[in-house]
Amino acid sequence: MNLFIFGMGYSAQVLAHRLRAQGWSVDGTGRGGEIDFADRAGVAAALAQATHVLSSVPPARTGGDPVLDAYAELIGKAPAMWIGYLSSTGVYGDTGGAWVDESAPIGHGRRSARAAADLGWQALDARVRVFRLPGIYGPGRSALDRVRQGVAHRIALPDQVFSRVHVDDIASGVIASFERGPAGVYNLADEAPCSQNAVIEEAARLLGMAPPPLLTLEQANLSPMARAFYAENRRVANGKAARVLGWRLRFPTYRAGLRALNASTSPTSASAAPATVSGDQRNPSNSVERPIATTGTSTPL
């Protein structure tokens, strides 16, 4: 099998590593690839040989999807049996903390460009799978790293809650869709949406460090992008991916994910339900996005 990736960023490189270990040929554009995005002949040749095509490139800051703008026609004509796009759960906007699944409307939040790209990929071809991702974390990119570096924040917003997903579970969700389930939209999120404060506090506990002080938004002096993040509040349901794709989370909670990450770098490390927007949630009783790693920036996922 041969996967071609537009934008070999953090999540895409984890997927590529896993597939190469299974004997796949994987190439793409971006910092982890060998083909220049502007090399139309090179991209066309790669698409002609690919059995699977994935884009992790976010929309441009000024709007528009760079991959669709440049290569929509070539992708549509490519012989690939599977086409995928890594999107963001930011397309759902603010739900006041309610659960949201793939049937909910999109495009009403701060991620209007992402929502337009999401819809553009859905309309491109009947083979397309769109994966909506919340805050992404994993090796070198987690609350553990921010607490160690002294750059973590705790913000005094008692009702703030969001979802997240470990990068390994993104890879397994994408791979699960290769052989199971129809084209369409899938949320890939863990089963323990919670406040960012809870994640930071757990990371500090695992590291044996004091958590950072609790600050107001004004005291934290956050960037406009980070402040905008705190204006949205939602829980992301993963039931469709679990039910249709047979996707099983390796790290169903942030506690499990952080514990595993900490163990990989420190051998002595310690080992009432909200309202529902729509109905395909999974294990809401387990619930308790500043994000662990935001999606929708100019950096490939």
Question: pLDDT for 6-22, tens place per residue?
Answer: 999 999 999 999 999 99
Q: What is the mean pLDDT of the chain?
A: 89
pLDDT at 298: 56
Which of 55-59, 208-212, 286-290 is predicted with the least confidence, judged by mean pLDDT? 286-290
For residue 288, pLDDT over 60 is answered with no
HSE-CB of 17 using CA atoms within 13 angstroms? 11
Distance of alpha carbon 183 from the chain centroid = 18
pLDDT at 231: 83
Residue 272 banded pLDDT, cuts 50, 70, 90: very low
Where in the chain does DSSP place strands (E)?
2-6, 25-28, 52-55, 82-88, 99-100, 128-133, 135-137, 154-155, 164-166, 184-187, 214-215, 235-236
For residue 167, pLDDT over 90 is answered with yes
Rounded Cα gap, residues 80 and 186, in angstroms? 20
Q: What is the pTM of this model?
A: 0.90
Question: pLDDT for 120-140, tens place per residue?
Answer: 999 999 999 999 999 999 999
pLDDT at 259: 98
CB distance 41 to 19 below 8 Å: no
Average pLDDT over residues 99-105: 96
Rounded Cα gap, residues 193 and 170, in angstroms? 16
pLDDT at 110: 74
Rg for the chain, CA atoms, rounded: 19
The residues pairing with 235 across neighbouring beta strands, listed in sequence order, are 99
**3-state SS class at 2:** strand
